[in-house]
Chain A
Amino acid sequence: MESEAAEKATSLIKIPITLEIPIGPQHPAIHEPVLLKVYADGEEVVGVDIGTGYNHRGVEKLLENNTFYKDKFITSRICGICNTVHENCFVRAVEYISGMEPSARARYLRVLVMELERIHSHMLINAIMAEIIGFDTLFMYIMRDRELVMKAKEIVSGGRVLAEFHMFGGVRRDIDDVKKEKILDILKKLEPRLKYYRRLFEEDPTITKRLMEIGILRPRDVVSHGMVGPILRGSGVKSDVRAEDRYDAYNEVPFNVIVKGEGDSLARMLVRWDEALESLEMCRYILEHLPSGSAVVDERKLPRVFPAGESFARVEAPRGELTYYIQHIKGDKPYRVKVRTPSFNNIINSGFSYLRHSIADVPVILVSYDPCISCMERAIVVDLKNGTEKKVTFRDIAMGKVRLR
């Protein structure tokens, strides 16, 4: 949005980012729907344009042309990293319209799977942050320990990545005591590792020197630009969908909302580590206080046609607030489904926050907003004075290896 500043720029760096944006006609593929165009004068960023208009994935039209049941499986595949929360939000939006109430045990199991997903997603983005600042060993350590979480998720839901756990009115699988003991065992092994990484991010000079006081966001700017999730909470604003809407079992499982006041990249990453530790405690509480009863829905007894109505469901995805709006008139296919992913607000509205930083800080700030990991693409550096182009990796920019006049 600052194209006027482009006049005094000496170079332009084009960084392609893929986001899980599900809009448009039936056009699948999100290869580079967003291009971050960074105009630099020497080493300093003078303007940022969020360039869009590349291929994108059109899921909303696809959702209107399929039944509610097929749509549930399609929404899982909007984003592989946070597929459980997408499914949960869609299922709850339909349950609000139709008036179905899941049992207490089903609600607890849903929260268990969502919190395990939160831990793995936060570990992944922190591993990537370590990787781009050059701390390869830490990347490998975190990825190795993340496999414990994937194992736990597989024990509960049957799938490492795609859980496909939810169904209208409950869940699709149940856990018994053997599985419960295995998961508690895994959580016991995981806890000291998470505490170690959190301490490392707070104390290790390799990390703090690169992240402290980079990309500071004031609370007023964050709120008026509509940025959500750990970005909001890292700047001191206390807003978490789990504490506000109290959906599923969040009105019974105790947890704290993590807020930090500094507003820089380090605060955002530390919010994520603290949330991962909170999620671990919540998983333990759920396993120890699981209510009895049945959780699995008999899918043969579910209705084919749903009543008319409109509903708006929100969920706290690892990246921020995810919302689904469904308007249904008649039949077995929804009339309108609108999905607003957190990256839609966080990344597209973020152009203002890179200004006056140096180029090597742009990847650090971008990764602290948690975009999709496929931003490990080649970035293109254009020298505006003589028009030459060269390709560099994202990591080269962050390590300061891109020499510009």
Chain B
Amino acid sequence: MSKLIKYSPWLVHFNTGACNGCDIEVLAAITPLYDPERYGVKLSPSVRHGDILIVTGVVTKKAAERLKRLYEQMPGIKYVVAVGACAYNGGVFKGSYSIAGGANKVVPVNAYVPGCPPRPEEILRALLLLLNREKVAGGE
């Protein structure tokens, strides 16, 4: 399962309309202070080489089709991480008639990172938990 990508997961980042708060934290997570490359994590040059899809922002009906198409273009083993409160269920804009909801209404989500915006360390930790490379607190 995840053994194939466990030591070199490449990220595809998709902004479905965030305020850019989560985006600059995702951008900060790939910079030298947090050093994601020691885990093999880097930004993928193209969608067809991506392993993990990072979704930020609230998903509207128009962005929903693009998100689905992007998800289908990724090959084989893939995971989806929804970053931020807006990608979880709409955040501040919950209840508006034109949003599809959170990211899980469009693609199957494997991990949520709560926060507005979450810290870069949290985003990195979510990736590692997903790949079973870090122990969950509580000694599992």
Task: Mark A residues whose CB is within 8 Å of B.
Answer: 18, 20, 26-31, 54-55, 57, 62, 73-74, 77-81, 83, 124, 140, 143-144, 146-147, 150, 160-162, 372-374
Q: How far is the CB of B90 from chain A (nearest CB, A)?
A: 8
| CB nearest to B15 among chain A residues | A374
Tell me if A29 and B99 are in contact (CB < 8 A): yes
In the complex, A27 Cα to B59 Cα: how many Å?
11
* B116 closest partner in A (C-beta): A162
Q: Are A74 and B92 in contact (CB under 8 A)?
A: yes
- Closest CB of chain B to A41's CB: distance in Å? 29
The contact of B25 among A28, A161, A372, A374, by CB within 8 Å, is A161
B111 CB to nearest A CB, Å: 20
Q: Which residues of A contact B57 (CB under 8 A)?
A: 29, 31
| Cα-based distance from A55 to B31 in the complex (angstroms) | 31
Q: A85 to nearest B CB, angstroms?
A: 14
Q: Give A110 to B93 CA distance when docked, in angstroms.
A: 27
CA distance A80 to B122 in the complex (A): 18
Q: How far is the CB of A108 from chain B (nearest CB, A)?
A: 26
B117 contact from A79, A162, A372, Cβ within 8 A: A162
Neighbour of A55 across the interface among B27, B33, B63, B116, CB < 8 A: B63
Residues of B within 8 A of A26 (CB): 93, 96-98
List, in ascending order, chain B residues with CB within 8 A of A80's CB. Answer: 18-24, 117
> Given A80-B21, A147-B31, list of 12 further CB < 8 A pairs?
A27-B98, A31-B16, A31-B62, A57-B17, A77-B91, A80-B24, A80-B117, A81-B20, A140-B31, A143-B31, A147-B28, A373-B20
Distance to closest chain B CB from A192 (angstroms): 18
A-B contact pairs, 13 of them (CB 8 A): A29-B16, A29-B62, A29-B99, A31-B57, A79-B20, A80-B22, A81-B24, A143-B28, A143-B31, A162-B116, A372-B20, A373-B24, A373-B27
B89 adjacent to chain A (CB < 8 Å): no
State how many angstroms separate the Cβ of A301 from the closest Cβ of chain B.
26
User: Beyond A27-B98, A74-B92, is A373–B17 a contact (Cβ under 8 Å)?
Assistant: no
Known: A28-B96, A28-B98, A54-B62. A20 touches B32 (CB 8 A): no
Given contacts A28-B96, A29-B58, A29-B99, are A78 and B28 in contact (CB under 8 A)?
Answer: no
Tell me how many residues of B have a C-beta within 8 Å of chain A. 34
Interface of B toward A, CB cutoff 8 Å: 15-25, 27-28, 31-33, 57-60, 62-63, 66, 90-93, 96-99, 116-117, 119
B37 to chain A, nearest CB (A): 11
Separation in Å of the A346 CB from the closest CB of chain B? 16
Say whether, besides A28-B58, A31-B62, A147-B33, A78 and B19 are in contact (CB < 8 Å). yes
Inside 8 A of B24's CB, which chain A residues have their CB?
80-81, 124, 161, 373
**Nearest chain B CB to A377 CB, angstrom units:** 8
Cβ-defined contact, B20 with A20, below 8 A: yes
Known contacts A29-B63, A55-B60: does B21 contact A83 (CB below 8 Å)?
A: yes
Look across to chain B and name the residue whose beta carbon is closest to the beta carbon of A29.
Answer: B17
Contact B63 A31 (CB under 8 A): yes
Which residues from A are CB-within-8-Å of B19? 20, 77-80, 83
- Minimal Cβ-Cβ distance residue in A for B66: A31
A160 to chain B, nearest CB (A): 7
Q: What's the Cα separation between A62 and B32 when bound, in Å?
A: 39
Name the distance in Å between B24's Cβ and chain A's nearest Cβ.
6
Q: List residues of chain B with CB within 8 A of the CB of A146.
A: 28
Please give, as numbers and ranges, the residues of chain A lying within 8 Å of B27 by CB-CB distance. 143, 373
Please, which residues of chain B bring their CB within 8 A of the CB of A28?
A: 17, 58, 60, 90, 93, 96, 98-99
How far, in whole Å, are A295 and B98 apart by their CA atoms in the complex?
Answer: 40
> Given A28-B60, A77-B92, does the pair A144, B21 have CB atoms closer than 8 Å?
no
